[in-house]
Amino acid sequence: MNTITLAELAASIGAEVVGDSSRSVSGPASLAEAGPDEVSFLAQPRYRSQLDSTRAAAVVVAADLEVEGLREDLVLLRCEDPNAAFTRVIRAFVPAEAEPAVGVHPSAVIEAGAEVDPTASVGPLCHVAAGAKVGPRTRLVSRVSLGPHAEVGADSVLFAGVVLYERVVLGARCIVHAGSVLGSDGYGFEPSPEGWVKVPQCGTVIVEDDVEVGANVTVDRARFGATRICRGVKIDNLVHIAHNVVVGENALLVAQVGVSGSTRVGPWAILGGKVGVAGHLDIGQGARVGGGSDVFTDVPAGTDFLGSPARERMQTLRAQASARKVPKVIEDLRGLRAQNEALIARLETLEAAAGLTNQPSGDPGHGGPA
Amino acid sequence: MNTITLAELAASIGAEVVGDSSRSVSGPASLAEAGPDEVSFLAQPRYRSQLDSTRAAAVVVAADLEVEGLREDLVLLRCEDPNAAFTRVIRAFVPAEAEPAVGVHPSAVIEAGAEVDPTASVGPLCHVAAGAKVGPRTRLVSRVSLGPHAEVGADSVLFAGVVLYERVVLGARCIVHAGSVLGSDGYGFEPSPEGWVKVPQCGTVIVEDDVEVGANVTVDRARFGATRICRGVKIDNLVHIAHNVVVGENALLVAQVGVSGSTRVGPWAILGGKVGVAGHLDIGQGARVGGGSDVFTDVPAGTDFLGSPARERMQTLRAQASARKVPKVIEDLRGLRAQNEALIARLETLEAAAGLTNQPSGDPGHGGPA
Amino acid sequence: MNTITLAELAASIGAEVVGDSSRSVSGPASLAEAGPDEVSFLAQPRYRSQLDSTRAAAVVVAADLEVEGLREDLVLLRCEDPNAAFTRVIRAFVPAEAEPAVGVHPSAVIEAGAEVDPTASVGPLCHVAAGAKVGPRTRLVSRVSLGPHAEVGADSVLFAGVVLYERVVLGARCIVHAGSVLGSDGYGFEPSPEGWVKVPQCGTVIVEDDVEVGANVTVDRARFGATRICRGVKIDNLVHIAHNVVVGENALLVAQVGVSGSTRVGPWAILGGKVGVAGHLDIGQGARVGGGSDVFTDVPAGTDFLGSPARERMQTLRAQASARKVPKVIEDLRGLRAQNEALIARLETLEAAAGLTNQPSGDPGHGGPA
């Protein structure tokens, strides 16, 4: 790793140095794990106590942090948003990546009729089928399979084991992590007395530019037309996207999300980890669905949904809070019932004393004996 | 794509043409995306308004659809079930697949003692271990691994990256999508003071005929005996099936389902997306479990379960509806309490007026002063 | 399979033979599937009736099982814990595995600068990048990819399709099942008006010794520092572990678990199938979280959590039980309301009889006309 002085680092991240700015650091680390030549950060107050024990040379902290009693030689880098600033710290230390070897590794299989740009890098043991295209500067790291007529644009990276089925299209500047599968058949069957009959899945998958796909993700090809992942979408690991789904620009799908067939996820929507969405629904632009939710209805644009079944977040939180009160409700109800019995007894006593007959039915107050 | 006249298409799907039946179409598309040489369909009333704006040449619609005000040259193909009919439309346009090259690709590794049928196709970079068998006309698309003594029947297709561990058996006419793993060890460990001790997983996986397995699925080998996927089962992407599970004929397991060890899923049962089933349970024949449910009990044959924990669908829906009433219940209870206080006060006034003493305890009505 | 006499088998598992101990058996099987030369077991009373119909030669049963009316020639192997004893039965029949060929398969690609121990086995179509290391007796089964400077310790097994990204470290005696990915980028993006900007993920993944990882698992590399899987951890299939997570020694993560970024899972903790855990949380040592739960809070050491959102198991079970009473509560409330109306009517009658005016407001009992 390269080393950087704290003065340089502070300048590059926009922080004010409190302490010896001439010291050098060699990389970022957490408060608990940092050594004496590393820089750390404090973004969440819950970790405040770790400031007292950290061995870090310097810590990125909030501009207004109280720092009484800290180690004398601990340098502080004060700034408005320590979390965002620390991302800049990390960037400052990103090692220059080894340039991948341009060209086709001798162990890769390129079928006749495939077009690999001369500036592309096709790593060991990849398979590029007939009619497939690999764009300029794109990198197939190793063991990648491109099916017949699959296309990858410029400046994309496909990690080990990625599979693009026949005719799938992936745009420019995309990253697809290891083991992900784009273009497997959608899940469609029709019942018959002998068993399920496969509904042909004749469409494809289109992934636009600037999309990142995590590891072991699956995106199914459309029944017809295309399953579409729009520009700038970021998909985490082990996500499932069914046939004919459209994921709008810059939507985020956190790990283990599942989206059922023909559902549309709006631009800038965020589906939290493990969210499941039923088929043929609309998740509106900028909608947010909390982790673990199961969505069975449309989600209006800009709203915040949560729960199983998912409803507006505040509704769900209120429902959860009131559910916790049910035991108390049952107890109160029992108390009221006992109270009423006592009241009835007292009424009867009064009625007897007044010589009145109890009126058991519907309209007791009217027409009774006066 | 080939083109078909609407008269021919209508005949092949059993629809009545309303409009110019001599026009030709080149493929299926959704209402929103169809061009002027494509055919679309309207299955759900919620998309009715798209009929007004579609550029499609023709639309498959229900026999009784009201069509006032539609574009004059829009041809209608009327039939009883537009959704089913459209599947036939799609079939009519399925492109003839290129015949895969029969034989073993030179980059594939076939170990001594493996038996590959001469009519089979073993694609680039596959590995077939000693003792493994590949049946007639079966196709290993690319980068498929068959472990020692694994067997694949006739007419099956295994896509890129599929792994069959040692001794796993896959039947005839099966489809296994990319990245799926059949035969990894079941998850079994015994505690010891030093840590968990592995319980050997000596069984295997048997997949019968006509099974389709989605992408990145995992099916674990049995502790002993076999994890069994029976004839006609259809498994969606990212499903997990644990050791010693038996999935009965024609059962459907939708994406991201997880079935724990030794559970039996009955024939024709349907587990919706993301359903989790605990171990050692019976899911009865034809039972249906709604998406997102967590099953901790047996599910009787023919029933419809839903929820976490899963119960009969109607029970769960009723419980959800009544849960939504709890805030109102709490409010009503408060009202009743206030009302009772007022009643007590009025009673006390009456009792005082009548010269009666309030009886605070158990049996207030009897033995009080008359 | 080898055969063993029941006398030998009973001695090796610590059971008492009731019946002909000279008979031989050739392997373990379930009660339903066992043939006349196999041995089975009865661990759960719910399968008791299968004892009457099993064709097994012998059955491992509890020491105190009532066995009236069983087949005369059915041999019983009595012991304290039939389930644990049967694991020993299975071990007795584990076939000796074929020794994997030591050395590098000619189809594997080993880049210059990689170090493969001469006792290691690198199978067909593997890729070992520059700077990567493979320890003594370790086995890369087939189609395994080790990225630049990735390291695997001694005596580990990596099955087909496993991917270790750049610099990932895997310890000794580890097992990683097919399709698992260690070291893909953590999921981190910062918003900008043009879309999400990738936060560099510069850290790595460290997997300590004696860890088993199931099939198609994903473990993301850290933003900086390391995502760490400690000694003895056992991870089931399709589990997702996000960046900077630490999983403590001997923790168990059952299938389809998802752990969000920076969360710490304590030693010996157990997360049941499909559990989701939010980010930046602490799951305490020895804590247990029931299958299907969604965890949004810390889980104290040694506790048992369940539900969505997860709370203490007993709290959740009680809440579920009281939730089932809500319809009855609503009914009771309706009854009380009706009762109160009747009471009010009777009060009014009494008040009228007594010449008292009803006091409708706040403080009805005081200051009313006497």
Residue B130 has a pLDDT of 96
The encoded tokens of residue B50 equal: 């798209």
Q: Where are the domains of chain B?
A: 4-93, 104-317
Chain A neighbours (≥3 Cβ pairs under 8 A) are B, C
pTM here is 0.91
Residue of A nearest to B364 (CA): A345
A63–chain B Cβ distance below 8 A for any pair? no
Q: What is the pLDDT of residues B96-116, one digit of tens each?
A: 766 778 999 999 999 999 999
Cβ atoms of residues B241 and B263 within 8 Å: no
| Highest mean predicted confidence (pLDDT) among B8-22, B80-94, C56-70 | B8-22
Which residues of C are catalytically annotated? 243
C-interface mutation test, from A89, A125, A351, most C Cβ less than 10 A away: A125
Q: What is the pLDDT of residues A321-342, one digit of tens each?
A: 988 889 889 999 999 989 888 8
ipTM of the assembly? 0.89
Amino acid type, C304: D
User: What CATH architecture does domain B104-317 belong to?
Assistant: 3 Solenoid (2.160)
Cβ atoms of residues A168 and A152 within 8 Å: no
Residue A217 has a pLDDT of 98
Q: What is the pLDDT of residues B272-297, one digit of tens each?
A: 999 999 999 999 999 999 999 999 99
Class of domain C4-93: alpha beta
Q: What is the pLDDT of residues A256-296, one digit of tens each?
A: 999 999 999 999 999 999 999 999 999 999 999 999 999 99
Cα separation, B97 vs B104, in Å, equals 19
Q: What is the pLDDT of residues A112-135, one digit of tens each?
A: 999 999 999 999 999 999 999 999
Which residues of A are catalytically annotated? 243
User: What letter does residue B229 receive in the DSSP assignment?
Assistant: E
Beta pairing, strands A294-295 & C258-259: unpaired
Which residues does A262 contact at the CB level (< 8 Å), separation at least 6? A242, A243, A244, A245, A279, A280
What backbone torsions phi and psi does residue B109 show, to the nearest 5 degrees? -110, 110
Q: Is C265 helix (H, G, I), strand (E, B) or coil?
A: strand
Which A residues in the span 117-176 are in contact with C, Cβ-Cβ below 8 Å? 123-125, 141-143, 159-161, 175
Task: Identify the band that residue A236 occupies on the pLDDT scale cut at 50, 70 and 90.
Answer: very high
Task: Identify the band that residue B366 occupies on the pLDDT scale cut at 50, 70 and 90.
Answer: very low
Cα separation, C268 vs B222, in Å, equals 25
Kindly tell me if the per-residue pLDDT of A71 is higher than 80.
yes
User: What letter does residue A224 receive in the DSSP assignment?
Assistant: S
Exposure string over C54-77, b if 16+ CB within 10 A, otherwise e: bbbbbbbbbeeeeeeebeeebbbb
Query: Which helix (DSSP H) or strand (DSSP E) does residue B89 occupy?
Result: helix B82-93
Tell if the CB–CB gap between A276 and B291 is shorter than 8 Å: yes
C354–chain A Cβ distance below 8 A for any pair? yes
Instruction: Spell out where C193-310 has E strands.
Output: 195-198, 204-207, 212-213, 218-220, 226-229, 234-235, 240-241, 246-247, 252-253, 258-259, 264-265, 270-271, 276-277, 282-283, 288-289, 294-295, 304-306
Tell how far CA B269 is from the center of its chain. Answer: 10
C190–chain A Cβ distance below 8 A for any pair? yes
User: Chain-wide mean pLDDT for chain C?
Assistant: 92
Overall size of chain A counted in residues:
370
